[in-house]
Chains A and B, each alone.
Chain A
Amino acid sequence: MIAGLGLILGVFLGLLLQPEVPIWLQPYLPIAVVAALDAVFGALRAFLDGIFDDKVFVVSFVSNVLIAALIVYLGDQLGVGGQLSTGVIVVLGIRIFSNVAAIRRHLFHA
């Protein structure tokens, strides 16, 4: 409940403030958002499993974001930034899909 409200609040804040993305953040923000999405879906699945822990959620959220950004940064330094961020997106996408599949099984028993 509060999580859903928080999401809506965040969207409103973003629309309201309309901040400029600083240049140094621009390559990392999309990857970070996808990583955070992965963490959120994982948390939702854990919640439905009955094993949700807010501490774990926070840690996984932050570490997901940081690791994703780190990989992109490393890729940029090595000159394979494009390929590496594609790889990260693919991996995170697979994880999101499997999480969503589990959530679906919980909610619809199908």
Chain B
Amino acid sequence: MPDTGTPPTPPTPPPPTDGRDRLVASLRKPGSRGQITAGVLMVVLGFAAVVQVRSNSQDAEYVGARQDELISLINSLSLASQRAENEIAQLEQTRNSLLNDTQARRTALERARQRADELGILAGTVPAVGPGVTVTVEDPDSAVGANQLINGIQELRDAGAEAIELNDTVRVVAQTSLRDGTEGGVLVDGEQITAPYVVEAIGGPHNLASALDLRRGFSYEVEQVGGAVAVARTDSIEIATVHETPTSEYANPVPTE
């Protein structure tokens, strides 16, 4: 069956009877032409075998792989990479939305803080500083009372006063009440103040000043009863007193929506 072993005539003149003897003899006496040829081919075989084994162990997975195997391999790889790309896109989207969220939250917080400041100034719960007027009302005859002051404050509010303070002691807010004191002076929120009354108002100085000087306005009224009004415009008035806001007992905000 082996095609190598069927030459027509065996050219072996020495007659070793046995295969084993022949092998031993060849081991003892090397150098025949056949042995050299076989040796050369064995060099080739050993070389090729080692190279193949080495290259096989290098990247055993893909060397010698067939075309269809490689194609299916590439397909699965590209599927996997596609999936990974999808995941990346999704994660990026999440990240962006989170970033937007933070941004929006920060903006909302900023706006809320600003709004709180504005409302605080309006409600008189925070100190305020800004340009405005200082109105000093001299009242030698003790004739100026709550009426005149209320009118004056009203006119200042009309002219856009944002924060008003009386005599550096009382912050005037929406709930502020003024009435004449029993023995002269004025009771503001239960606090006694006396002449000279100093009204400090933050707002446009020009508007405020001209509002007080209107015909039959505050100055006129005060002068009618014998007082004197001095209006000084300033670039910076500091209103330090604050109004203690009582927690509302009865009024609740109407729920929106």
Contact = CB atoms under 8 A, between A and B. Distances in A.
B52 A33 contact: yes
A48 B19 contact: yes
Nearest to B46: A10
Interface in B3-52: 3-7, 10-12, 16, 18-20, 22-23, 26-27, 30-31, 33-52
B26 A1 contact: yes
Given A10-B42, A10-B44, A13-B46, A2 B35 contact: yes
Contacts of B44: 10, 36
Interface of A is mostly: helix
Given A2-B38, A18-B54, A98 B43 contact: no
Interface stretch (B59-67, B81-89, B212-220, B232-240): B59-67
Nearest to A5: B39
A45 B23 contact: no
B214 to A, nearest CB: 101
Interface centre among A10, A76, A107, by most chain B C-beta atoms within 10 angstroms, is: A10
Nearest to B30: A1
Given A26-B63, A81-B66, A46 B2 contact: yes
A49 B38 CA distance: 16
Interface in A52-110: 52-58, 60-61, 76, 79, 81-82, 95, 98-99, 102, 106-107
A43 B52 contact: no
A54 B43 contact: no
Interface of B is mostly: helix
Contacts of B12: 50-52
Range class of the A interface residue count:
35 or more
A30 B19 contact: no
Contacts of A52: 4-5, 10, 12, 34
Contacts of B35: 1-3
B22 to A, nearest CB: 6
Contacts of A8: 46
Given A6-B38, A48-B19, A76-B66, A42 B4 contact: yes
Nearest to B14: A50
Contact of A14 (B5, B27, B46): B46
A5 to B, nearest CB: 6
B39 A2 contact: yes
B100 interface: no
Contacts of B26: 1, 47
Given A36-B48, A50-B10, A54-B38, A14 B64 contact: no
Contact of A98 (B1, B4, B39, B50): B1
Contacts of B56: 30
Nearest to A11: B46
A3 to B, nearest CB: 4
Given A3-B39, A20-B55, A76-B66, 15 more contacts: A1-B26, A10-B42, A10-B45, A10-B49, A14-B54, A33-B48, A40-B42, A45-B5, A51-B5, A51-B12, A52-B34, A61-B41, A81-B67, A82-B69, A98-B1
